[in-house]
Amino acid sequence: MTGLSTKSKSKHFVIIGNGIAGVTCARHLRKADQNCQITIISGESKYFFSRTALMYIYMGQMKYEHTKPYEDWFWEKNNINLIQAWVSEVDTDNKQLIFSDKTIFDYDVLIIASGSKPNKFGWKGENLNGVQGLYSLQDLELMEQQTHGISKAVVVGGGLIGVEMAEMLASRKIPVTFLVRERNFWDNILPMEEAKLINRHLLEHHIDLRLATELDEIIGDENGAVKAVKIDSGETIACQFVGLTVGVSPNVDFLKGTAIELGRGVKIDGYFRTNIADIYAIGDCAEFLEAPAPDRKNIEQVWYTGRMQGETLAYNLTQAKPVKYQPGIWFNSAKFFDIEYQTYGFVPPAWGKEFESFYWEDQGGKTAIRFLYYKSNQQISGVNAMGWRLRHEYFDNAIQKGFQLEKVISELGKASFNAEFYQPFHQEVLQQYNTQFGKSIKQSKQSFLQKLIGSRL
């Protein structure tokens, strides 16, 4: 049997997965090389859509079309071939993919960007109807069906997807019980004050938040549908839907039994190379043999890292001298119902003796900022902000260059990214800093003229 692809002299890059990692890689391959052949294969959808926007479709805030970052003509115009199919096997000897319908497809270079799948931990009842995770478009469709007309839902797992699911259900006026294993929401990432701030906000949104609570089992009815969950205290909570959002893991089952080395994900070196020549992996599905930086994990499961890995691999595949993947200052963001969260640099939930923290929280309890800095030289290592937008460019520079806390505090107006006419919280932060440290530093002031023309600081 011959492959589908037409033979050509230029290289044929085949990418499994049309998520942010695969698509970014394809776009940059095309930018660097007008002649190569590029195919993206994905089972989930023909066109790239933004996974991070799945919740908004359910909430009626957007339609599926709105989640596509590029219009449909974009792919043809850039000569990127899209195939909607599931790859079920990879024949590394013959450089061929085998689709679930047994079609065979040739590649010269294979890029695996197959993303993640929701975790399941072998709970009793986890396969009942009405029990599901949320990762793909198909999951969303299922959730649409399974939550139709229900009167109670339980979400298990206090991470980012869990809180999104709670918000989704709440937007449809479905009462939600939210089971969180940690003592405070997401406190394996957030320091206690921030975590508690979010606890309060969830309660304000009438989420029945159960902290330090674990799922025991899911109870079904005679039709195989969920009717309740039992938690570790022995209490049962009646419900018709259970969202399992206890993390994700690399979606690599289809590679089992091939020569490609797998750990939890596809094992790669700092250049995204697997153990097989001409096969690379990027994004959620990739597991670095060695973490890319001391404060990074071996598997990076966020949007931004998928994008950066895609860019970098495309560079390596088209330039003579490949570079090692080297992410810069860490950054991330999320939104918990109405409260936005941004973080730059290194702010773990708990820190060692070499660090000190400066934390300010607004009286309303919905806006907060934390700086972590080195005791020895006062240089900041990172910042967390709740309900306060910060300027990425400023903090990327400040953390890299090791700005001292005092400098950053006095420049907070400039470092802020809040909309115009926003409450000037930076004055309050400055005051607290002055009181706490017995200082009298001042904010760089705007002149009258600058104020008049609304110039940025």
Partner 1 sequence: MKIMQKIGLGLFLLAMLSFSFLPFVGSYQLEADIVRAETKDIHQEAMLEILQPMYGKSYDSNIRFIADFNEYFNAYNEGLKKAEEWDRVIWDDYAFALTKAASTGPVGEQPYLYLGITVLLGVIGALLYILPLYRGQPEGIKNDGIFFSSMKSRGLIGILTGSWLILFYIVLYWFPEYLTNLVLMVDPLSMALSGNPASQWFLYGFVYTLAILVMGIRMFRKYRGNNYQMIRTASVMFFQLAFAFMLPEILVLLNMPWHDFKNIWPLDYSFFYDYRLDGMLGSGALGMFMLVWGIILIVLGVPIFTYFYGKRWYCSWVCGCGGLAETLGDPYRQLSDKSLKSWKIERYLIHGVLVFAVVMTAVTLANYFMEFELLGYATNELHTVYGFMIGSAFAGVIGTGFYPLMGNRVWCRFGCPLAAYLGLVQRFKSRFRITTNGGQCISCGNCSTYCEMGIDVRWYAQRGQNIVRSSCVGCGVCSAVCPRGVLKLENANEEGRINDMPIIIGNKSISIKS
Q: How far is the CB of 430 from partner 1 (least distance, A)?
A: 20
Q: Which two tokens stand for residue 315?
A: 């560079």
Stretch of 6-14, 125-133, 200-208, 433-441 lying at the interface with partner 1 (CB under 8 A): 200-208
Segment interacting with ligand FAD, rule: CB under 6 A, options 43-51, 236-244, 323-331, 436-444: 43-51
Q: Is 86 in the site for ligand FAD (CB under 6 A)?
A: yes
Q: Give the angle 241-142-234 at the CA atoms, nearest 5°.
A: 20
Closest of 12, 24, 28 to residue 318, by C-alpha:
28
Q: Are 413 and 444 in contact (CB under 8 A)?
A: yes
What residues contact residue 7 under an 8 Å CB cut-off, 6+ apart? Answer: none
What distance, in Å, lies between the first and last C-alpha atoms of the chain? 66
For residues 304 and 346, which CB has a smaller minimum distance to partner 1 in the complex?
304
3-state SS, residue 291: coil
Q: Does 158 interact with ligand FAD (rule: CB under 6 A)?
A: no
How many residues are recorded in the chain? 457
Query: Site for partner 1 (CB under 8 A): which residue of 30, 95, 117, 201?
Result: 201
Q: Rule CB under 8 A: is residue 61 a binding residue for partner 1?
A: yes
Residues near 217 by beta carbon (within 8 Å), at least 6 away in sequence:
123, 124, 125, 229, 230
- Binding of partner 1 at residue 205 (CB under 8 A)? yes
Question: At closest approach, how far in Å is the CB of 105 from partner 1?
Answer: 28
CB of 413 to partner 1, least distance (A): 13
- Chain-centroid distance of CA 203 in Å reads 24
Residues pairing with 220 in the sheet: 226
Whether the Cβ atoms of residue 349 and residue 194 lie closer than 8 Å to each other: no
CB 188 within 8 A of CB 93: no
Of the pair 60, 352, the CB lying nearest partner 1 is at 60
67 touches, from ligand FAD, partner 1, none (C-beta below 5 to 8 Å by class): partner 1
> Cα dist. 446→440, 449, 450, 453 in Å?
18, 8, 6, 11
> How far is it, in rounded angstroms, from Cα 33 to Cα 326?
23
Q: Which of 96, 301, 381, 410 binds ligand FAD (CB under 6 A)?
A: 301
Q: Which residue has the tokens 């790859």?
A: 87
Instruction: Name the amino acid, one letter, at 102.
Output: K
| Selected binder of ligand FAD within 38, 113, 268, 409 (CB under 6 A) | 113
| Contact characters 356-385, ligand FAD, x per CB under 6 A | ------------------------------
Interface positions, 416-445, toward partner 1 (CB under 8 A): 417-423
Q: Which does 328 bind (CB under 5 to 8 A by kind): ligand FAD, partner 1, none?
A: partner 1
Q: Judged by CB under 6 A, does residue 51 bind ligand FAD? A: yes
From the list partner 1, ligand FAD, none, pick the one residue 419 interacts with, judged by a Cβ distance below 5 to 8 Å according to partner type. Answer: partner 1
DSSP 115-144: -EEE-----BTTTSBTEE---SHHHHHHHH
Q: Scanning residues 307 to 346, which ones bind partner 1 (CB under 8 A)?
A: 307-308, 311-312, 315, 323-329, 331, 333-335, 337-338, 340, 342
Stretch that binds partner 1, among 83-91, 107-115, 249-257, 387-395 (CB under 8 A): 387-395
CB of 55 to ligand FAD, least distance (A): 6
The item of partner 1, ligand FAD, none sharing an interface with residue 149, based on CB under 5 to 8 Å by kind, is none
Own/partner long-range contacts of 346-349 (Cβ < 8 Å, ≥24 apart): 346/295, 346/372, 346/381, 346/382, 347/191, 347/372, 347/381, 347/382, 347/383, 347/384, 348/191, 349/187, 349/188, 349/189, 349/190, 349/191, 349/192, 349/195
Interface with partner 1 (CB under 8 A), residue total 59
Q: Which residues bind ligand FAD (CB under 6 A)?
A: 16-22, 41-44, 51-52, 54, 86-87, 113-116, 134-136, 160-161, 164, 251, 254, 283-284, 301-304, 306, 334
Residue numbers at the binding site for partner 1 (CB under 8 A)? 20, 28, 50, 52-53, 56, 59-63, 66-69, 71, 171, 201, 204-205, 303-304, 307-308, 311-312, 315, 323-329, 331, 333-335, 337-338, 340, 342, 389-393, 396, 417-423, 453-456
